[in-house]
Every structure is written in C-alpha cells, then in structure tokens.
Amino acid sequence: MTKVAIIGFGGMGFIHYCAYKRIKDAKVIAVADVDIDKVKEKIDDEDINLYSSLEELLEYESPDMVDICTPTFTHAELSIKAMEKGVHVLCEKPMSLCEEDCQRMIDASIKYDRVLMVAHVARFGKENMYLKKVVDSGELGALKHLDMNRISYMPDWSWNDWMRDYEKSGGCLVDMSVHDFDLAQYMFGIPKKIGGVYHKMRDNNDFVTANLIYDGFDVTITGGWYSCEIPFRTGFLACFEKGYLEKVNGELYMNNEKVEFDTVIEEVDAGINISSTAGYKEEIEYFINCINSGSEPEIVLPESSKNSVAIARQIAKEAILI
Ligand SMILES: NC(=O)c1ccc[n+]([C@@H]2O[C@H](COP(=O)([O-])OP(=O)(O)OC[C@H]3O[C@@H](n4cnc5c(N)ncnc54)[C@H](O)[C@@H]3O)[C@@H](O)[C@H]2O)c1
C-alpha cells in the first residue's frame, strides 16, 4: 500500500483526494494545509491526520510520497523539502514559476534520488492520448495545423486570491495555457519559433493567442481567463493531410465520426472550474507505479515540465501586448 500525504487541500487537493479514493493500492494517511479548518469541512475520513505545514507533517508521518497541490509559487520549496526528507514528489503543474526553480527541483530529485513528476494531467486525458496516437502512427498523414483552446472565467476561488496575482501564478499563460504548451511540447518537441498576442492581467481579464511554429505545421493556442461568466471549456482541431480530429463539447470526432471511450467519469464538486477526476486518477496511478517499480516517469520527465514553463515564459516575454 502506497502511503500518501496531500499538501494543499484547496480545489486541486480535493480533486486528487477524490481520485485516491478510487485507487486500490494507495491510501491518503495525512494532509497538510495552512488552513486546517477548511480541510476538516471537506474530508470524510477520520483516520487521516491533519497538519498545518509540510514540515510538521514530516515530523510525525512517513509517507512514501507527497502530492503537492499548493499555489504554484510554493512548489519548488515544498518539493525540495520533501525530497530532502527522502519522500517521492508528485507536484501539480505548472512545475514552478521560472526555469531556475524548476532546475532546483530537478537537482534535488537527482541529489536525493527521489522520483519527481509534475502532474500534467492533460498528457493522461483520453482525447489527448488519442491525438498523440494519431500523430505518432501517421494514420491520417502529416499534421498540417493544430489549434488548441482552454477558456475559463477568471478564477475567483483561490486561497488569498493568489491566482489573480500575476507574480504568484504567472497568469493564464503559466497557470492554464501551460497545459497546451506542454501537450505541444510532449508531442512535437521545442518549437522552432514562438510568438503571440497577450492581454496581460488587468480589468479581471488575462488572455493569450500563441503561435508555436514547427517544420511544416504550426500550433495555435488560445487561452483565457475572462471577467464574464463563461463556463470552463477545452478543445482542439487537428488537421492532417488525410483527415481531421476534433475535440468539441467534451466529445472527440475523427472525420465527423464520434470516437467512443469506455472510461468512467466521476463528477466531483471541488468549487473550481474542474468537475471530474478524469485523467487525475490515471496520472496518479502512473506515478505510483513509477515509485514502486523504481522507474523514471517517462511520460512526464521533469526536464520536459521545465521546458513547458520556459515556453510559457518566453511567450509572456515576446508576445505583442494588447
Ligand atoms: N491540473 C489541473 O488541472 C489544475 C487545475 C487547477 C489548479 N491546478 C494547480 O494546482 C495548484 C493548486 O491550485 P488550486 O486551484 O487547488 O488552489 P487553491 O487556492 O484552491 O488551493 C491551494 C491550497 O493550498 C493551501 N496552502 C497555501 N500555501 C500552503 C503551504 N505553504 N502549505 C500547505 N498548504 C498551503 C491553501 O490553504 C489552499 O487550501 C496550483 O499549482 C494550480 O496551478 C492544476
């Protein structure tokens, strides 16, 4: 049984907690959060011990892994502290706010010989995995254009409103569109050229249209946190030489024919813009399998997560500001 401690029990910590309940060979033994009272309201297992910090938790508990679901600006310090104590780390995306901090996390995982994986859930999403399979197999010929979008209302639930603070979250570019930069980078590597148009956090809006240029095709990525109450959505359209693949309204179509999946979707109310454990259970199971088999997390190597932060940062720097 893999013993798990969740650090940070806000929106994402709760979603991970719901996912662990569906994983047979893992048990959440402890939770640390600076706001313990809030955790008590959401937790339904009295055997889970609660602490107000990672340091305190590690004084009394010996988890095999910590699952870090705290605000992004805390990821590097908390991950490094856990690895120093000999604990494997699954850390929510984005890895951190800058490449230097990502590198410090990578150095710690090497120094303390611990598995470090960033929870890039999009790499485990069934539609995205299908897209990667079609790209890799070449069954629709060469890719010509990929358009990805990820749109939400401005996050208004976060602890101390850290998400709306550009210095703490990196805005929608680093916090949300990083999912799509990461997917593009996972499938195609580092782009040859990067550009875009960015409306940087102001008036309760933060949105971007980014261009990632590769040899013979390009990827456009639209991301936005808007002041209007638009429901969260993600989608993509991939045009190949011999056909297309489209994710729209939560369904996947290949050349106008629906692609069916037999996965069970568990709906959860976490009070944020995510409403199911889909993909989270799979990424956690994959990480647990890596720590138990002593293998590298090949699907999401830390170096690759650092590259995704670097792409987001570069777009923030080079995009035309509007
Ligand atoms: N993978 C995804 O789809 C996805 C979706 C949303 C958020 N996230 C990421 O998950 C992380 C958390 O986001 P969230 O939406 O849950 O934020 P949140 O504000 O809802 O929750 C953060 C929690 O961490 C606690 N906290 C703050 N500092 C702490 C510390 N030093 N030690 C312990 N607890 C601390 C807060 O009390 C709060 O409960 C972020 O990095 C975010 O980018 C990922």
Q: What's the CA-to-centroid distance between 61 and ligand 1, angstroms?
A: 21
The residues spanned by each domain of the chain are 2-121, 122-266+299-321
Is the model's pLDDT at 274 over the cut of 70? no
Q: Burial level of 73, CB count in 10 A (0-12/13-18/19+)?
A: middle
For 113, residues 6+ apart whose C-beta sits below 8 A from its C-beta are none
Query: What is the C-alpha separation between 42 and 96, in angstroms, rounded?
Result: 27
Q: Give pLDDT tens digits for 237-269.
A: 999 999 999 999 999 999 999 999 977 667 677
Confidence of residue 278 (pLDDT cuts 50, 70, 90): confident
Confidence of residue 270 (pLDDT cuts 50, 70, 90): low
Domain at 2-121, CATH from 3.40.50.1370, 3.40.190.10, 3.40.50.720, 1.50.10.100: 3.40.50.720
Q: Give pLDDT tens digits for 170-222.
A: 999 999 999 999 999 999 999 999 999 999 999 999 999 999 999 999 999 99
Do 187 and 222 contact (CB within 8 A), yes or no?
A: no
- Supply the pLDDT for residue 54: 98
- Supply the pLDDT for residue 269: 73
For 138, residues 6+ apart whose C-beta sits below 8 A from its C-beta are none
Q: Give pLDDT tens digits for 136-182.
A: 999 999 999 999 999 999 999 999 999 999 999 999 999 999 999 99
**Spacing of C-alpha 294 from chain mean position:** 23
Q: Which CATH superfamily is domain 122-266+299-321 in?
A: Dihydrodipicolinate Reductase; domain 2 (3.30.360.10)
What's the half-sphere exposure (Cβ side, CA atoms, 13 Å) at 293? Answer: 10
Peptide bond between residue 94 and the one before it cis (omega within 30 degrees of 0): yes
Q: What's the CA-to-centroid distance between 146 and ligand 1, angstroms?
A: 30
Q: Which residues line ligand 1 (CB under 6 A)?
A: 7-13, 32-35, 53-54, 69-72, 74, 92-93, 119, 121, 157-159, 175, 272, 274
